[in-house]
Chains A and B, each alone.
Chain A
Amino acid sequence: MNRNALILGIVLLLVGVAIGYLISPTGQVRTVTETVTQTVTAPPTTAPPAKEVEIKVGVLLPLSGGSAFDGQEDLRGIQLAALHINQSKYPNIRFKIKLVIADTQTRQDVGVTELRRLDQAGVAAVIGAYNSAVTYPTAGEAEKIGLPYVVPEAVADRITAQGWKYVFRTCANASKYAYDTLWALADMAKAKGVEIKTVAYIYENSDFGVFTVEGLKKFLNVLIPNARAVYEESYPAETVTSMDDMVAKLKAANPDVVFHVAYLKDAVLFVQTMKKLGWYPKAYIGAGAGGQTRVEFIEQLGKDANFVYTQTEWQPDFLTSKALAKWAWIDEDFRKIYGRSMVGSSGLNYVGTYVLAVAIQKALDSGADPSDLAGFRRAIRNALESIKIPAGELPLMPWGVDFTSAPNHQNPEAAVAMAQILDGKFRVVWPIEFAPVEPVLPAPSWGARS
């Protein structure tokens, strides 16, 4: 009897193993294998054995209000990163993330209130909050509380210029965005033999636009020595009903290059108005990776979006480079869920979540106890300060993260690429090593387009 039971048990075990092998999704197996071979922050051999720990992470984003559209794209990146972590796609991260999501409603006061709520909810750290104008006061509040705060996308310089101990920014700041825009323009103009003598700045008048343009002004003559600004104007993006005035004045001033810091709706209106008034500069550049970098920008403008340049943090073109091809599975997963590739903001938020998760794992490995919330938050902060992930080993992005050499917690390695819309698609045109196509400079006039 016992012998029969033993045989039955062995048979059932073998059948179970065989069925498990047959039904396991091949993609998942492949992904795990790749990740094991690529991840540098693999746990040390002395690390404690994996255990099922769940850590609450607060997500602070504008899920309603004026920036709801952008906030929801950010949330997609964060949720996908959490999903991958919880699916153990990254063997160096061995805990489960539980996201606690809060809506800033694109408002500073609501953002601060929601941050306090996240604190009360017992989150170990917070990631957010898209709008620089909301990120700044909420980061200040997090600093007071002693709550680690990772900023994956808000760019205003002042967020990290305060030297706050608990605030860390993984993406570039507005100055770096500005520097890279001008660097890209100078490189492309030189390669194409185009002289840039005059530029204009058009920008939405909140922190995003103001700080980005400040950076452009600071670095213009550093990178393009003979250029001068001939026109500058800001506008309220939320309530703007017409841009005829700005385009009419630009048409009269006729600058070679227009830098436009915009959200989606005003960027679309601006290009439509340029076409209506029959004027286009040698280069129209979406600075700060705002509205022009959205896929909806192309959807709404159709062929009129062609030749627009936009700064971009990430494009599928990156995955065609040798250095980043190994991360294609992340975008594949994104496409399975949302039916299209990631964009810069979802990519940045994915990376920010990954970096925070690596820091949380470091804190756990150091023996910090998640049930002692204040102590655990301090341990995460300390772990963030010791984060150093070289380029190529950070998912998706061509840059790395190094907070060990950044006293203000501004990631010095973050950079921004330049894309141009060609044949209805974003194509990376700078930096050259990630650029499969050449830029079209100067852009053809409206009349010369087919």
Chain B
Amino acid sequence: MIEWSSAYAQLIISYAILGGVYGLTALGLSLIWGVMRAVNWAHGDLLMLGMYTAYWMVIISGVDPLLSAIVAFCLLGGLGAILHLIAIEPVIEKPGGHEATLLTTLGISLTIQSIALILWSPSPRSYDNLYKYIYLELAGIRTSLAEVIAFSLSLIAIFSVDQFMRRSRIGKAIRAVSQNPVGARVVGIDVPRIRLLTFALGVGLAGVAGVLVSTFYPNIRPLAGYVWDIASYVVVIFAGLGSIYGVIFSGIIIGTIEGLGTIFFTNAFRQILVYFVFLITLLVRPEGLFGRAMRRV
């Protein structure tokens, strides 16, 4: 009995930590969705590119994978800006533009996957790093340093983004555009430029999430983004569109629900439980758990 209770505590903690990482994977998506009302269907694929950035930097130059998070942020941010100019900006202000972004980003998603398959083959990869092999233990509950770092950096990233939104001029402009794009334009904010910055920031954050996930998840491959995509969408809708702090809380909640699902049911059933709770939440509170925070962004 003692062993089983310890096992249950272990997996609730493990899944709560994983949920925190879900929050980070969802942050970029939430930002783009909240500010631009655009669904970035390629979010998981851009996250996958972050995983490969870490992989290649470690393999080629042997740098610490956490340093590659900075590189991934810059590289993916730049790529995000280019993709925005190609696929988002030309359609977003047209009639039905927000729906059109769904299709244009779907096209980006397929293109990225195909190029990645050609360049890197479908073979899964992983790389060695110290963090993966350092284990922390408290009261019999074990976890790896890599997961703790990913969880902690998720919190830091979310706090940083929130502060950026509140305190910087660009952040305030982003919030203004998210609240009222027409009003923002009237007061002189360059709305297309803000959209560009937001998309670049969101994609850059997806890159950082990809790097952090790759430190403990041994599945770097062209289709790896799909797994994290699903979690990200659930987290964003669960949190409420555009909620910054909401994503971390809803990520942890979803992770914990998954953990509970594995206790009472099975691993295969945990996602069903998540979707069930998700559905009930939307019925009771359609704006998401932290919907009010969205309006403030």
User: By the criterion CB–CB under 8 Å, are A277 and B267 in contact?
Assistant: no
With the chains together, A68 CA to B227 CA distance in Å? Answer: 17
**Bound complex: CA A268 to CA B126 (Å):** 9
A contact residues around B4 at 8 Å (CB): 249, 252
**Closest chain B residue, CB of each to CB of A263:** B124
Interface centre among B4, B126, B218 (most CB of A within 10 A): B218
State whether the Cβ of B252 lies closer than 8 Å to any Cβ in chain A.
no
Known contacts A72-B121, A235-B267, A277-B142; A268/B227 CB under 8 A: no
Whole-angstrom distance between the Cβ of A382 and the nearest chain B Cβ:
38
What residues of chain B lie closer than 8 Å to A296, measured between beta carbons? 123-125
The size bracket of the interface on B is 35 or more
Q: How far is the CA of A236 from the CA of B124 in the complex (A)?
A: 17
The answer to whether residues A242 and B15 also contact, given A264-B124, A276-B144 and a CB cut-off of 8 A, is: yes
Q: Is the CB of A69 within 8 A of B266?
A: no
A278 to B271, CA, bound (A): 26
Measured between beta carbons, the chain B residues less than 8 angstroms from A65 are 223
- The yes or no answer to A413 lying at the interface (CB within 8 A) is no
Which stretch (B6-14, B188-196, B276-284, B286-294) binds chain A?
A: B6-14
Which chain B residue lies CB-closest to A267?
B218
Question: A236 to B144, alpha carbons, bound, how many Å?
Answer: 23
Q: Does B132 contact A (CB under 8 A)?
A: yes
Q: Interface residue count for A (Cβ, 8 Å)? A: 37
Main DSSP-derived SS at the B contact region: helix
Which residues on the B side are within 8 Å of A245 (C-beta)? 11, 14-15, 259, 262-263, 267, 270
Contact A269-B218, Cβ < 8 Å, known A64-B117, A245-B15, A300-B124: yes
- Judging by beta carbons under 8 Å apart, are B218 and A244 in contact? no
Question: Are B267 and A243 in contact (CB-based, < 8 A)?
Answer: yes
* Cα(A350)–Cα(B231), bound, Å: 40
Contact A244 B11 (CB under 8 A): yes
Task: Identify whether the interface residues of A are mostly helix, strand, loop, or mixed.
Answer: helix
**Does any Cβ of A come within 8 Å of B221's Cβ?**
yes
Contacts of A265 in B (CB 8 A): 124, 218-219, 221
A239 and B230 in contact, given A234-B266, A248-B7, A248-B11 (Cβ under 8 angstroms) = yes
Fill in one digit per residue for B1-41: 1 if any A CB lies within 8 Å of its CB, else 0.
00110111011001100100000000000000000000000
In angstroms, Cα B122 to Cα A264, docked, is: 12
- Contact check, A233 vs B18: say whether CB atoms are below 8 A apart: no
Cβ–Cβ contact A66 & B223, under 8 A: yes
Pair B219/A269 contact, Cβ less than 8 Å: yes
Nearest-Cβ distance from residue A267 to partner chain B, whole angstroms: 10
B259 to chain A, nearest CB (A): 7
Complex Cα gap A381–B262 (Å)? 49
B143 contacts chain A at the CB level, 8 A cutoff:
yes
Q: Does A86 contact B (CB under 8 A)?
A: no
**Chain A residue, CB-CB nearest to B143:** A276
Closest to A304 in B: B133
With the chains together, A277 CA to B6 CA distance in Å?
A: 12
Verify if A251 is at the interface (C-beta below 8 Å from B). yes
A302: CB under 8 A from chain B?
yes
Residue of B nearest to A279 (CB): B142
- What 1/0 flags go to B216-236 for Cβ under 8 Å of A? 111101010011101100000
Interface membership of B135, Cβ < 8 A:
yes
Interface residues in A202-254 (C-beta closer than 8 Å to B): 205, 233-236, 238-246, 248-249, 251-252, 254
**Is A31 interfacial (CB-CB < 8 Å)?**
no
Where the two chains meet, the residues of B that have a C-beta atom closer than 8 Å to any C-beta of A are 3-4, 6-8, 10-11, 14-15, 18, 117, 121-126, 128, 132-133, 135, 142-144, 216-219, 221, 223, 226-228, 230-231, 258-259, 262-263, 266-268, 270-271
- 12 residue pairs from A and B, CB less than 8 Å apart: A66-B223, A69-B122, A69-B221, A239-B271, A244-B11, A244-B15, A245-B267, A246-B262, A254-B3, A276-B135, A277-B142, A296-B124
List 12 extra interface pairs beyond A69-B221, A242-B14, A268-B124, CB under 8 A.
A68-B117, A69-B123, A233-B266, A233-B267, A239-B230, A240-B227, A241-B217, A242-B15, A245-B15, A248-B8, A268-B126, A296-B125
Closest 10 A/B residue pairs (Cβ): A245-B262, A68-B122, A244-B14, A252-B3, A248-B7, A235-B267, A252-B7, A265-B219, A248-B10, A69-B122
